[in-house]
């Protein structure tokens, strides 16, 4: 069984408070975007190794056991020990450390695939429960539709935001931003206007008021990101921003926009949606 987990962008991101458990209170609107990875899971008759994991595409650093796809399998295996051994393959296309939630999307896709493949009978709320144990962004990918998010990102409400009549450019400059470092640069505080109220206004007004709190410190550390954002506006973006804690920058363009053949290509990795 195969799934094609997509990424997300953040429409605004406010860090409003530091919690006693070490997490941060935030507000954002998650929006799904069609840049995809690929995950395949098949039965495996191996009584010794419960999971055989492989990957192609972008290199994935670190211990394989810490990959969210593997963690998702082990998480369900604890509660459903009858799940048999599997072979799992991940083809990685969504860049990592980019603020696009690719790893979270992959892990959540594994939860969904296992639920279908082995008839576990998990409903949406149960899948969200498991996804929240994988990571703060993971519950969003259970819904995979525009959602207003609060808490640490796991409290979700579907939100009426539709960008299907626009074009979205994703620019990833190959810079990895540590999420822990990024949070450490912020001074959480309540905002005068909530993000979902700003997004309810015409998209032409977003440039003046829809802010990602991470941009200020990260743009100081990596000035090229400010350059990319400025260039997207020069190219005709209605709105441009960094996604999550970076480093990807996205631009929202009119549906009539035609990508120039040289659009940002000489300097940056590009993925056009």
Q: Tens digits of per-residue pLDDT, 205-251? A: 999 999 999 999 999 999 999 999 999 999 999 999 999 988 999 99
Measured CA to CA, the distance from residue 128 to residue 115 in angstroms comes to 12
Find the catalytic residue in 106, 137, 213, 271.
Answer: 137
pLDDT (0 to 100) of residue 269: 47
Q: How confident is the model at residue 40 (pLDDT cuts 50, 70, 90)?
A: very high
Find the catalytic residue in 8, 92, 112, 229.
Answer: 8
Asked whether the predicted pLDDT for residue 268 surpasses 60, the reply is no
Q: Give DSSP secondary structure letters for 116-169.
A: HHTT----HHHHHHHHHHH-TTHHHHHH-S-EEEETTTTEEEE-----TTEEEE
Query: Is 8 noted as a catalytic residue in this protein?
Result: yes
Walk me through the domains of the chain, giving residue ranges and CATH numbers.
2-158 (3.30.230.10), 166-272 (3.30.70.890)
256 backbone dihedrals φ, ψ, rounded to 5°: -80, -5
Contacts of 173 (CB under 8 A, 6+ apart): 224, 225, 228, 247, 249, 267, 268, 269
Asked whether the predicted pLDDT for residue 21 surpasses 80, the reply is yes
Measured CA to CA, the distance from residue 65 to residue 180 in angstroms comes to 21
Query: Is 37 noted as a catalytic residue in this protein?
Result: no
Of these ranges, 38-52, 107-121, 162-176, the one predicted with the greatest mean pLDDT is 107-121
Residue closest to 227 by CA, chosen among 173, 166, 263: 173
CB atoms closer than 10 angstroms to residue 235: 16
155-158 sheet: strands from edge to edge: 6-18, 24-36, 147-150, 155-158
Q: What is the pLDDT of residues 141-181, one digit of tens each?
A: 999 999 999 998 889 999 999 999 999 999 988 888 888 88
Can you read off the two tokens belonging to residue 264?
């940002």
Burial of 49 by CB count in 10 Å (0-12 exposed, 13-18 middle, 19+ buried)? exposed
Can you read off the two tokens belonging to residue 13?
């991101």
pLDDT (0 to 100) of residue 272: 45
Contacts of 249 (CB under 8 A, 6+ apart): 170, 171, 173, 225, 228, 229, 232, 240, 241, 242, 243
């Amino acid at each position: 069984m195969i799934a094609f987990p997509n990424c997300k962008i953040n429409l605004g991101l406010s860090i409003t408070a530091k919690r006693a458990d070490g997490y941060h209170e935030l507000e954002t609107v998650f929006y799904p975007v069609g840049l995809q990875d690929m995950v395949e899971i098949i039965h495996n008759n191996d009584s010794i190794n419960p999971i055989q994991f492989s990957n192609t595409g972008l290199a994935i650093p670190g211990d394989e056991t810490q990959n969210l796809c593997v963690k998702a399998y082990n998480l369900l295996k604890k509660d459903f020990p009858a799940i048999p051994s599997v072979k799992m393959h991940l083809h990685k296309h969504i860049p990592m450390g980019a603020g696009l939630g690719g790893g979270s999307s992959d892990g959540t896709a594994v939860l969904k695939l296992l639920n279908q493949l082995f008839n576990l009978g998990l409903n949406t709320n149960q899948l969200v429960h498991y996804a929240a144990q994988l990571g703060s962004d993971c519950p969003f990918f259970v819904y995979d539709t525009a959602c207003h998010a609060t808490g640490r990102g796991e409290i979700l409400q579907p939100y009426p935001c539709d960008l299907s009549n626009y074009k979205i450019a994703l620019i990833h400059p190959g810079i990895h931003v540590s999420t822990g470092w990024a949070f450490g640069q912020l001074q959480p505080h309540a905002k005068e206007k909530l993000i979902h109220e700003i997004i309810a206004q015409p998209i032409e007004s977003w440039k003046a008021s829809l802010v990602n709190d991470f941009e200020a410190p990260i743009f100081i550390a990596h000035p090229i990101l400010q350059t990319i954002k400025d260039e997207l506006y020069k190219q005709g973006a209605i709105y441009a921003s960094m996604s999550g804690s970076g480093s990807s920058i996205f631009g929202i363009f009119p549906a009539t926009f035609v990508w120039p053949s040289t659009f940002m290509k000489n300097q940056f990795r590009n993925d056009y949606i």
